[in-house]
């Protein structure tokens, strides 16, 4: 076996090769700031102001990173997240700003309520319950407003039953048949999201998300979630988080052969960055992790490491 591991020819027989084409860069757009703001629990990662978003995209394009997923931190929040579908909302403005400068970038938007509601939950709340069917029309409205502002792909992450169907119908009705749906199909109620909640100011005021996001003890259930989302019209299915869920990525890819995305989430990023900063791990670990996610079956990887990995040799 060692003949093929010689330094000069190893590369020839590599089964999995990570490329910048596999990566999606998350951008946090904050309507309330004037200059980039570092996220304390995500070293080297920043929220960007609305008028800094074009520059951020430009920096990524120089590294050949062409796909972006946008998260908004709005100036205004209310009970039902109306600023999420405001024509002049933070994401809608960011989309238009980017679109007016670059034609061929891929713009993806997170479709959810949690960053836009005062209670911080992903759906409409009544008597401390998160209502499913009342949330669906709002998610469709958000997706339509993103499409209108120039999104190529909408990514619903609220984990409401029937959300993909509601969004597909809404988009089609409004003439956005070409807009792609990348569904957060198997999204687990995970402890790995806490840095994101600081980053996107989307922490919840009561309870938890276990009533809508998946229980991490389950994997067969992920297959059922994905099957439903495909039936409802998802074009790309996502597993989230990635690293502790590679079995789920693998099984989904094997079973459905769909374009499959994995979200290398905030906590996975912070964990690795902390260890690198302490000198306990070296940077190549990032490359190893992302390659492993691809090896498990992910075609696309959303990762906060995108920019730094593009710089690694």
Q: What are the residues binding ligand PBG (CB under 6 A)?
A: 110, 112, 114, 122, 157, 193, 196-197, 202, 209, 265-266
Give residues with Cβ within 8 angstroms of 87, minimum separation 6.
145, 148, 149
Report in angstroms how near the CB of residue 293 gets to ligand PBG at its nearest: 14
The alpha carbon torsion through 89, 167, 229, 73 (nearest 10 deg) reads 10
Report in angstroms how near the CB of residue 157 gets to ligand PBG at its nearest: 4
Tell me the C-alpha distance between 288 and 14, whole Å.
13
Tell me the C-alpha distance between 126 and 3, whole Å.
65
- Please confirm, yes or no, whether 187 is among the known catalytic residues: yes
3-state secondary structure 186-205: EEECCHHHHHHHHHCCCCCC
Report in angstroms how near the CB of residue 24 gets to ligand PBG at its nearest: 12
CB nearer ligand PBG, residue 101 or residue 308? 308
CB nearer ligand PBG, residue 2 or residue 151? 151
CB nearer ligand PBG, residue 176 or residue 212? 212
Report in angstroms how near the CB of residue 15 gets to ligand PBG at its nearest: 28
Tell me the residue length of the chain.
313
Considering 165, 240, 253, 294, which one is annotated as catalytic? Answer: 240
166: tokens are 């509601």
Report in angstroms how near the CB of residue 235 gets to ligand PBG at its nearest: 18
Tell me the C-alpha distance between 93 and 115, whole Å.
16
Considering 77, 141, 165, 187, which one is annotated as catalytic? Answer: 187
Q: Is residue 157 within 8 Å of 187, Cβ to Cβ?
A: yes
- Please state whether 44 falls in left (phi above 0), alpha (psi between -120 and 50) or beta: left
- Please confirm, yes or no, whether 240 is among the known catalytic residues: yes
Give residues with Cβ within 8 angstroms of 112, minimum separation 6.
84, 122, 139, 142, 156, 157, 158
Q: Which residue is nearest to ligand PBG (CB)?
A: 196
CB nearer ligand PBG, residue 54 or residue 244? 244
Tell me the C-alpha distance between 168 and 172, whole Å.
6
CB nearer ligand PBG, residue 54 or residue 131? 131
Just list the catalytic residues: 187, 240
């Amino acid at each position: 076996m060692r003949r093929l591991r010689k330094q000069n020819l190893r590369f020839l027989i590599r089964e999995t090769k990570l490329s910048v084409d596999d990566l999606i860069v998350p951008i946090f757009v904050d309507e309330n700031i004037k200059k980039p703001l570092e996220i304390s629990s995500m070293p080297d990662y920043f929220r960007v102001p609305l008028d800094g978003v074009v520059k951020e995209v430009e920096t990524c394009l120089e590294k050949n990173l062409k796909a972006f997923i946008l998260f908004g931190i709005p100036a205004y929040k209310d009970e039902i997240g109306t600023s999420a579908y405001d024509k002049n909302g933070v994401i809608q403005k960011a989309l238009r700003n980017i679109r007016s400068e670059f034609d061929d970038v891929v713009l993806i938007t997170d479709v959810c309520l949690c960053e836009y509601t005062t209670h911080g939950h992903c759906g409409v709340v009544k008597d401390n319950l998160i209502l499913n069917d009342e949330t669906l029309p709002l998610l469709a409205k958000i997706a339509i407003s993103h499409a209108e502002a120039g999104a190529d792909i909408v990514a619903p992450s609220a984990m409401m039953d029937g959300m993909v169907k509601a969004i597909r119908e809404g988009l089609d009705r409004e003439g956005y048949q070409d807009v792609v749906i990348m569904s957060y199909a198997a999204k687990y109620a995970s402890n790995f999201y806490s840095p994101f909640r600081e980053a996107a100011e989307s922490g919840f005021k009561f309870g938890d998300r276990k009533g809508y996001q998946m229980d991490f003890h389950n994997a067969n259930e992920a297959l059922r979630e994905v099957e439903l989302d495909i039936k409802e019209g998802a074009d790309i299915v996502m597993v989230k988080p990635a690293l502790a869920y590679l079995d789920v990525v693998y099984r989904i890819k094997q079973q459905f052969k769909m374009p499959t995305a994995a979200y290398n989430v905030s906590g996975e990023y912070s964990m690795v960055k902390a260890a690198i900063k302490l000198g306990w791990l070296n940077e190549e670990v990032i490359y190893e992790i992302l390659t492993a996610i691809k090896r498990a079956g992910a075609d696309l990887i959303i990762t906060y490491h995108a920019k730094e990995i593009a710089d690694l040799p």
